[in-house]
Every structure is written in C-alpha cells, then in structure tokens.
Structure 1
C-alpha cells in the first residue's frame, strides 16, 4: 500500500484526475471535495496534504492555519490564485510548496516525491545532542552548559537542523527557509553562516557537512 495523501479540491473533474494520477504513481489518495477542519490526530494518518484555497465550506487558508496549530504534515497548495501576496501568505502560514493551476500532473507527482524525501520538522521545545542544548521556545543555546550568543539567522539555522537531529537537510532548503531571499538567499551566504555558527559552538562536530547534499546536526563527537 502506498503512502497516504489527502487531496482537498472542489473541482470534480480535476479532483478525479489528480486522484487517478496519484494512484497510478503509487500513492493512496483520499479526496475531499469541500473544505473542513481536520480532526485531532487525523492529519497524522497522512504523509502529505494537497490543498486548494478557494473551497466551499472552510477557506483553504483557514484549514492551513488550523492544521499548523497541531501538525507538521507537509502541505502543498494547489490553486488558480497566482498572486504573489497569496503565495507569501500561504508560505508564512506554514505551506511547504505552492503550485498554480493549470499544471502538469507529472510535475505535481515529482514535487510530492521531493517533499516526502525531506525530513519532516518535529514539534519539540528543546533538543539535546551530545553537549549541545537548543531550546526552540526560549531561543537559548548552550554548549556544555555554557550559554552561546547567536544572531537571528544563526539560531534559525541551528533550529532547522535541531528539528531533524541526525538527518541531512539540503542546502537549497536551508537557503529557501532560513535565509532572507531578498537580501542573502544564496548557498555561498549559507556556508558563511554555517562557518560562523561552527566557531561559536566551539570544538566538536556539531554541524556536519553531508557532501553533495547539505548539513546535519551531529552529536559533537565525530571521529
């Protein structure tokens, strides 16, 4: 049985086509033709949600907002609205990707597969790995019990890795989700921030380079 995907789309013809295409691609698709909030624990049964914005019932943005209050399931917005403001708002509310209609079904499938290959953010207030402690709520970082002062970008970078301890996170994802795309959104700039962060964290392989992919948070021991 394939990975479960929830499709929320009111267009009957399009919904049927997407459901059929997902099935042939090896996914198990559930289709809702109108918007409604997901019940507690319901989101956990799906690996990804495809969400239209203009829905009868509950508006798509409201579904996204409610979903993000208690779940980190990846959400891909699929909408005819291509206004930049809508895209920015959806991404700020926690959407992982945004596709505009019309689209190629093959691209949709590949975007789903790409999203599912990435580690999913875990909801937790603190992460401790080796001698490193990261409090995601208070933004406090300690190494061997000693506080470490970080800039906003350095903390967001460390937090992104801390939410996926031991998992490799691509440089492209970090650039798109941590750096400011208007001012500093390049992989070279990311490498500079990583270098500065490593110096502040001190000796030990806390942030490991995964060649050809990106970075991951290690236990600080290393060979």
Structure 2
C-alpha cells in the first residue's frame, strides 16, 4: 500500500514516513499543497496523511479540490487544532479522519491501515488463499498453520498478490503499490523480493512467473 505524507516540519515529516515504512507502507513525501496536488494527480495512493497547516495554506483547501474533481483517496489530517469545530470543518471539507498532535505513531499507523482498507478495493483484515493466511493488522503470515517471518516489503508484495489471487500482477503494478517514487523502475527489486518470498514460503511454489508480464499467485 502506498501513502503520501504531506508535512513541512523537518523532524516530524521524516518521523511519520519512517513509522509508516516500518509498518509496511511505501511512502512518498511532500512539503507544500502544490507539491501534494501534483503527486496525487500523477500517482495512485491508498491514503494521504497531511498536516493541516502548511506554508502555502490550509491543506483542507486542496482536499476540497480533490473531492470536487472526483478523487476519493482517503485523507487523514494532522493538526494542533483539537476543538470540535475544527474537526467538524475538516470532515466538511472532505477529510476522512482527524488526528490531533501530539499522537502515538502506533495509532497513526493503525488509522492509516484502516483507511486503506476502506479505499477503492476494500481489503478484509485476514486474507486466505489455499493454505496461505495473511493477517493484516498483526502482520503475520501462516502457511499450513506454520507461522513464517517476512520483512515489511515481503509482506506488502505477498499481500498485493493475495488480494488478486489467480490474476496476473505486473511488475509495474507491484512497484507502484509497494515501493515509493524513488524506486528505479528498471531495477530488479521486485524479482529479488519474489525470490525471497519463494524461499520462505517453501514448496510447492505458490507464485507463478509470467514471462514479460509479472507474477500470479495460484488461487488453489
């Protein structure tokens, strides 16, 4: 899942991005409303986490523009303004959630994960394909009942494949959903993660390679 963090604070922005990456998200960053608007127009995000007060104005103005243009990406607004009328204003402008500073990183990650599940392709908290079970909230994967250990990136790629079990998933789609904008599309990072997944999942190999296309997780 890919998230855009819009925060101009030089310490808080990287901290939020780091916390979300540790939670298994691919994260892009922006510091201004204009930059955020451009990124949302050219990339597909599962969620936007945005500070309300940015150097170039209130982020709710651009959220309202997105909603008017039909963009449904969930938006979680961060703010120091905790009054009821401020939260109500946020929801009226199209925000989906509101978190008052200071906040616990674990709560932010949980709220972002919940918003991502509500987006275009709602995802249940637990995915099951054949003998594979993936528990999203706890980040646990079992095969045949045996608990397996995966990195955050491996978990994200496996989740993307399980959501579309039986379908071809291109390398580009995996890059766009599991990596951020700094990833080189010409690199072999997807293939490397797939190799690690296959090794950890063990035989029989549940992942099919589709020459010139990408990969497919066997549905049975």
TM-score (norm 2): 0.50
CA shift digits 1:39-96 (9 cap, x unpaired): 4962651110011111012421111111111200000011111121111011011111
Q: Secondary structure at the match of 2:29?
A: strand
The residue matched to 1:12 in structure 2 has which SS?
A: coil
1:42 aligned partner: 41
Secondary structure of 2:99's match? strand
Note if contact 2:74-2:119 (Cα within 8 Å) is conserved in structure 1.
no
Superposition TM-score, scaled by structure 1 size: 0.50
User: Which deviates further from its counterpart, 46-55 or 29-38?
Assistant: 29-38
SS at match of 1:42: helix
- Measure the CA separation in 2 of the matches of 1:33 and 1:55: 7
Partners of 2:45 and 2:73 within 8 A in 1: yes
Moved more, 33-42 or 53-62: 33-42
Work out the CA distance in 2 between the residues paired with 1:40 and 1:20: 19
C-alpha distance in structure 1 between counterparts of 2:16 and 2:95, whole Å: 19
1:56 aligns with 2:45: no
Query: Corresponding residue for 1:20?
Result: 18
Which structure has more relative contact order (CA 8 Å, sep 6+)? It is 2
The aligned residue for residue 80 of structure 1 is 80
Output aligned runs, 1:137-152, within 5 Å.
Answer: none
Number of aligned positions between the proteins = 119
The root-mean-square deviation of aligned C-alpha atoms, in Å, is 2.0
Query: Secondary structure, in 3 states, of the residue corresponding to 1:95?
Result: coil
Distance across 2 between alignment mates of 1:114 and 1:41? 20
- Unmatched tracts of structure 2, length 5 or more: 122-220
- Find runs of 4+ consecutive structure 1 residues off by over 3 angstroms: none
Once the two structures are TM-superposed, the CA of residue 35 in structure 1 deviates from its matched residue by: 2.1
Larger Rg: 1
Matched, 1:92 2:92: yes
Partners of 1:108 and 1:88 in 2: CA distance? 19
